[in-house]
Structure 1
Amino acid sequence: MSNGLIVNSFYELESRYTDYWNKNLGPKAWNIGPLCLAAEPPENNISKNSSYLRWLDEKFDKGEPVLYVSFGTQAEISPEQFLEIAEGLEKSEVSFLWALRSKGLDFLPEFESRVKKGRGLIEKEWVDQSKILQHDGVKGFLSHSGWNSVMESISAGVPILAMPFMAEQHLNARFVAEEIGVGPRILSRGGSVRGYVAAEEVEMKARELMGGRKVAEEVSKRVAEWGRAAHGAIKEGGSSWLTLDLLIDDVMGKFTK
């Protein structure tokens, strides 16, 4: 009974899927994103003066690229899996900012004490993810591959290290790594899509993204191209701009009949 779907994406990114959907399936999909670029958010004094942004500034001044780490707020991740991720990040020797809102993780105090001497920062309060991804010092995003995070990362031109946990995140991760090529994907033990991720896999992929010249250069080039396309889509005359006009015309036409 639906007249259509409003989608937080842009036509160039998923053109063949959008065309197939609209031709063979439906209801009509209207790609009007990325919504994170639709308007500048109001200045937030909390985020503006946050210690994690000052820490990123310091890292940038020293020429040390940072891997941003966040897995959203919905996925249930076991303490054992958190421990493997932490061990992998520590062994990778890359600088990282980990937005982590979890309680009861016994490894945290000891882990923090080992990495806080300049290389790692764990932020347990709310963070402004958009500002973090837009920071010049952030060169990678270890993400659960939630679609909003994917859109924000592409729009900011930041490569994604995809580590899905639930729901459509696995499909998004495959799209990120295999379809549009904006970053590698972390795999579970034995190469399976779902399951337990070992510290060695996190360490290897983090090194590849942040320090491996071939991988880093390739995905950085690809995400920069998609980032330019995303910004072009929402500009006047861009694909999302024109699609929104068509959506308004379609809705108004139904009301005036």
Structure 2
Amino acid sequence: MGSISDSPSPQRRHVVLFPFMSKGHTIPLLHLSRLLLSRNLAVTVFTTPANRPFIDQFLSSSTASVVDLPFPQNIHPEIPSGVESTDKLSSVSERLFYPFTLATKHMQDDFEKALSSLPRVSFMVSDSFLWWTLDSAVKFNFPRLAFYGFNNYSGCVFKTVAEDRLLHGAESDNELITLTRFPWIKITKQDFDSSFGKHSPEGSEFFMNVMGAVVKSFGLVTNSFYELEPVFVDYWNTECTPKSWNVGPLCQLKPKPQCHDPKPVWIEWLDKKKVEGKRVLYVAFGTQAVISSEQVEEIAKALEKSELNFLWVIRKKESFTWWDSEFDERVRGRGMVVSEWVDQTDILNHESVEGFVSHCGWNSAMEAICAGVPILAWPMMAEQPLNARMVVEEIKVGLRVETCDGSVRGFVKAEGLEKMVKKLMEEEEGEVVRKKVKELSEVARRAVEEGGSSWQTLQSLIDEACSN
């Protein structure tokens, strides 16, 4: 793994990537680094000391260089020294998230010192949350593209709702509202965080900084592909700025594991399920979702009563006030609970996995689509409710959990969850979405192959950015 001293040769086009300090934001840009390297570009990835080991391991078989910058200290009384990723925050509430993100501005001087010692940069892709990198790009005279974790569907819906003030006339949180520009789409207030359009002073500062920098950037790098959402790609690139460059699915570019790499225990368990001819339901809600002990108890009851084979990835069991110590024993043989970080693409691409209960973070949704695994959508936060609508209503590759009150963010009882996981895994509705997602998986594969839509888009991006 390189450092500043052995950075890329100045004769090659050279790209800087700067992911935000969160695995969900970092992993897509690490996949992008491999894409750029495959086009004979040199790549330098910026990070922080605590995040570097993960990035070094991820890029161990590549020629990308990695530079770490000191992360600001003493940014909030509840953020201890050494916490350099939102995954490690005690909560992802506004109280901690905005101070954490705004503090990254203090990295700018060190970032620019590092840039001054690197070969000339052709262009940079930095996370949209790192708005201040635009100023650095202007100072060093190279284009900055913002990486957007959203898809075009969500971006277009957000923009339409904000500009047409559609939420202001709704009488209840669950009233269906028709989008004037996309009349087949109906949303509710609960599809948006309660803070949408109403932010704390720190939140307002953050969003003004981010949006101001995005609009002035050379473009957006979007982890999607044209065939998945052509209406929304065309709308964005006709009516909105800057241009959205759809170069995904980025997860398609993961290198194949080496034969000598030891298999994690959960992959060995899935191998056994494959030999037994058993279909497995995968359950995971990402690294940021906060789930109550009461809700965890209902999930456990549903999985136990369903009689389905399942792999459930959960935060540390001891972090929940409820955890039945005998649960693992009762489901032994057909259920496995994992309390550590897993490589989700390995799980979703395993032949035994045929359903995914997901929070519908966009990375997870794309990984499921690429693997041809249908989704049971259970959105938790951020733009996930819109992603869930896209998955279920727009591209029709999943079903939706049933909440007690029928609302977007309602509590899910064991009986309702058991009903829906069985529907996904064993009934006709599940087979319909399974067929659809497998068709889209093939389209996604073709998009990143030479001559495909995403392949051509990336080449155009490189040519235009490097000639700017």
TM-score, scaled relative to structure 2: 0.52
Q: State which of 325, 348, 352 in structure 2 corresponds to 1:109.
A: 325
Q: How does 1:1-40 map to 2 (within 5 A)?
A: 1-40=216-255
Q: How does 1:1-257 map to 2 (within 5 A)?
A: 1-43=216-258, 48-102=262-316, 103-105=318-320, 106-116=322-332, 118-212=333-427, 214-254=428-468
Quote the Cα distance in structure 1 between the aligned partners of 2:234 and 2:337.
43
Identify the range of structure 1 (105-114 vs 237-246) with the bigger mean alpha-carbon deviation. Answer: 105-114
- Cα RMSD (Å) of the superposition? 1.5
Larger-Rg structure: 2
Change (3 A) 1:50 1:28: same
Quote the Cα distance in structure 2 between the aligned partners of 1:130 and 1:45.
19
Q: 2:286·2:361 contact (CA, 8 Å) conserved in 1?
A: yes
Q: Aligned partner of 1:146: which letter?
A: G
Quote the Cα distance in structure 1 between the aligned partners of 2:220 and 2:447.
18
Which deviations, in whole Å up to 9, do the C-alpha atoms of 1:12-53 show, x marking residues without a partner?
A: 10110010011011210000001111242553966x422211
Higher relative CO (Cα under 8 Å, sequence separation at least 6) belongs to 1
Q: Aligned partner of 1:164: which letter?
A: P
Q: 2:402·2:420 contact (CA, 8 Å) conserved in 1?
A: no
Q: What is residue 202 of structure 2 aligned with on the other side?
A: none
Change (3 A) 1:127 1:45: farther
Quote the Cα distance in structure 1 between the aligned partners of 2:242 and 2:256.
31
The structure whose residues are more often helix, as a share, is 1
Q: Aligned partner of 1:10: which letter?
A: F
Shift of 1:110: 2.3
Gaps of 5+ in 2: 1-215
Quote the Cα distance in structure 2 between the aligned partners of 1:186 and 1:195.
10
What secondary structure is seen at the aligned counterpart in 2 of 1:247? Answer: helix
Quote the Cα distance in structure 2 between the aligned partners of 1:91 and 1:84.
11
What secondary structure is seen at the aligned counterpart in 1 of 2:367? Answer: helix
Shift of 1:184: 0.3
Quote the Cα distance in structure 2 between the aligned partners of 1:229 and 1:235.
10
Quote the Cα distance in structure 2 between the aligned partners of 1:199 and 1:22.
43
TM-score, scaled relative to structure 1: 0.93
Q: Aligned partner of 1:151: which letter?
A: M
Aligned length: 251
What secondary structure is seen at the aligned counterpart in 2 of 1:107? Answer: coil
Shift of 1:194: 1.1
Gaps of 5+ in 1: none
Shift of 1:226: 0.6
Q: Aligned partner of 2:350: which letter?
A: H
